[in-house]
Structure 1
Amino acid sequence: MKVAFIIFEDLTALDFIGVYDAVTRLKTMNFIPELEWEICSFTEWVVDGTGLIFTPTKVNESLETYDMVIVPGGFGTRRLVDDSAFIEWLKTSKPCKIKASVCTGSLLYGSAGFLQGKSATTHPSAFENLKKYCTVVNDRIVDEGDVITARGVSSSIDLGLYLCEKLAGHDAKEKIRIQMDYQIN
């Protein structure tokens, strides 16, 4: 299984790190030993909204060969929804089995046309922005089969654990959750 974690200028670091930490444990904890991932960006230089620098492992390469593509949110999404070159690059993920997003990453999937006729969620402050692409649902995670969206920033860990369960089962998800010391109410 191959995973592409997308990064871009002005992303929110926790949107990326929360889901990244959980999903990569599928390999490091030996639940899916063949799991591979890349940190993919459309540009060579990526800085989050607070100045944290991220280094992509793949730059502007097609996303079509991945099984899963995960897009974080952040204020950069507001600009990127209208960036035709970035959206065309993101559209190369169309054949991927799972396209997941955290927070306003769903706006990018909406702009790419992946949310047409579907329901999705995002940070509550962006519900109005998301309405032009799909039906907005006020849930923590919305699973539409090939597109899975998670609500606000802290839902990145929830999404990561959700994906772990989807890919490796409940027991694997629970072992990862316990190792992360993540409490579920």
Structure 2
Amino acid sequence: MKIAFVLFHHVTALDFVGVYDPVTRLKTMNVIPDLEWDICAFTEEIVDGTGLQFTPTRVRESLDQYDLVIVPGGFGTRTLRNDAPFIEWLKTAKNCKMKASVCTGSLLLGAAGFLEGKSATTHPNAFLELQTYCTVLSERIVDEGDIITAGGVSSSIDLGLYLCEKLADFDAKEKIRVQMDYQNV
């Protein structure tokens, strides 16, 4: 199993780290020993809104080699959803088995055409923007099978644990949740 975490300038760090931590524990806790992941970006430099820097492991490489592509949110999504070269790059994930987003990452999934005919969620402040692409639900997590979206930034850990159950099973998710000392699932 290969996972791509898609990062971009002005990403919200917790949107990324909140889902990254539980999902990567699938490997570090030996639930899915052959799990692999990359930090993928369209640019070599990634800086969140506060100056925190991330270093991508793959830059502008096609996303078609991944089983799961995870897109966090952040203020950068507002401009990127209209950035044709970025969206064309994101579209290379078209044939991936599953795509997931946190917060306004769903705007990028929508701009890439992945939400057509589906329901999704995002941060409540972005519901109107998301309505351009799909039916918007005010839920913590919306699972459409191959597309899973999560609400605002604090839902990133919820999404990570949800994906752990989907990729492994309930017992694995619970083992990871307990190890994280996370009570709110």
Cα distance in 1 for partners of 2:81, 2:46 equals 17
1:155 aligns with 2:159: no
Counterpart amino acid of residue 124 in structure 2: P
Matches within 5 A, 1:31-180: 31-180=31-180
Count of residue correspondences: 185
Deviations 1:109-134 (A, max 9, x none): 00000000000000000000000100
Question: Which residues of structure 2 form unaligned runs of 5+?
Answer: none
- Aligned-CA RMSD value: 0.6
State the partner residue of 1:29: 29
Identity %: 75
TM-score of the two chains, using structure 1 as the length reference: 0.99
Deviations 1:96-155 (A, max 9, x none): 011000000000000000000000000000000000100000000000011100000010
Structure 1 runs of 4+ with >6 Å offset: none
- Give the deviation of 1:184 after TM superposition: 2.0
Deviations 1:42-97 (A, max 9, x none): 00000001100000000000000100000000000000000000000000000101
State the partner residue of 2:181: 181
Cα distance in 1 for partners of 2:21, 2:154 equals 13
Cα distance in 1 for partners of 2:50, 2:102 equals 18
